[in-house]
Amino acid sequence: MPWKGEKDPYKIWLSEIILQQTRVEQGLKYYEKFISAFPDVHQLANAHEQSIYKHWEGLGYYSRCKNLIVTARNVSENFNGKFPGTYDEIKKLKGIGPYTAAAIASFAFNENRAVVDGNVFRVLARIFGIGDRIDSTEGKKTFSALAGKLLDAKNPALYNQAIMDFGAIVCKPVPMCKQCPFKQKCEAFLNDKIFSLPVKGKRVLIKKRWFNYVLLEYKQKFAVRQRHEKDIWHNLFEFLLLESNKEFGKKEILKEVNKKNWAGANGYEIEYVSPVFSQQLSHQLIKGRFTKLKLYQKPELSSDIFWIRKNELKNYAFPMFINQHLRKMNV
Ligand code: SF4
């Protein structure tokens, strides 16, 4: 991976933010795209916000992108483009938690800090037979304290990389115990607890939401708005949304369109009402239909809605839920 052995704190930070909640194979593409478009923190800080969101499109968890912009601007303006050099200072930057701060401090500045990521949790829980929940405050404290004690103070960066790699390559979710040098000492192996460690909390409840999007088209232009609410997909763009607590068919959707007077007085032509699309997020399941209406007259809409040409839709960052529909319908 290009970030292995990397010493530049900007690149380490970028890779760590991209890889949070993202598979390495998927994250790699985005990392390369970002490094080539924004080779240093000043270029990221000075880029147009919309262009950064466009580069992030499809990665999900858009609050990461929002924090990325805030931190890039902060480092560029207030630190002259140089990341602060200690764990405590790095942790004060927006969107950087203990894990990312430890990774930057250790890999870029060789600070004596243990990095505790998912791989490290798994290795420590199994070898030492720790049954504390890894997502509880107490559990995190226990694992951090142990990781700190085990850290090789002479080579913290090398040690951190080694234990993370060991978790990724040998002590994987389905581990390679036969080849493992720790098998004579590993509590989980000796006590048949490999698959019950580490212990995670209860599964999160998934909230179901129905998003019915209305694509209003007038003279080859579409009505869109930017999402500013404290909600999923913050800062991304969308068509006109009808959120409902149950499935809406054509009849309910058109009733709402008429009630909101979205189509103006002269009526419209219904191009299609799509089948149900869905997207699974970490805590929410989004389902809904897309209804495309061709208008005969430009309606009066609220001031946050604006019109963009069909061939310009590609310049705006939409949620994956909308993009999958645009691609399928070739809009
Ligand atoms: S023996 Fe198995 S479970 Fe224990 S550390 Fe090695 S790979 Fe992991």
Residue 205: predicted pLDDT: 83
Distance 179 CA to ligand 1 centre (A): 9
Q: Which residues line ligand 1 (CB under 6 A)?
A: 126-127, 170-171, 175-177, 180, 182-183, 186, 188-189, 194
What is the number of the ligand 1 atom nearest to the C-alpha of 175?
7
Distance 177 CA to ligand 1 centre (A): 5
Residue 278's SS3 state is strand
Read off the pLDDT of residues 232-281 as tens digits, 9 standing for 90 and up. Answer: 999 999 999 999 999 999 999 999 999 999 998 888 999 999 999 999 88
Contact 17, 66 (CB under 8 A): no
H/E run at residue 224: strand 221-226
What is the number of the ligand 1 atom nearest to the C-alpha of 122?
8
Q: Which amino acid is at 156?
A: P
Distance 183 CA to ligand 1 centre (A): 6
Distance 27 CA to ligand 1 centre (A): 27
Residue 273: predicted pLDDT: 95
Atom 8 (ligand 1) nearest CA: 171
pLDDT at 331 over 80: no
What is the number of the ligand 1 atom nearest to the C-alpha of 176?
7
Contact 99, 115 (CB under 8 A): yes
Residue 266: predicted pLDDT: 80
pLDDT at 1 over 80: no
Q: How many CB atoms lie within 10 A of CB 173?
A: 10
**What is the value of pTM for the model shown?**
0.77
Read off the pLDDT of residues 186-209 as tens digits, 9 standing for 90 and up. Answer: 999 999 999 999 998 777 788 999
Residue 5: predicted pLDDT: 83
Surface-to-core class of residue 302, CB atoms within 10 Å of its CB (0-12 exposed, 13-18 middle, 19+ buried): exposed
Catalytic residues, by residue number, are: 16
Sign of CA dihedral 59, 15, 315, 81: positive
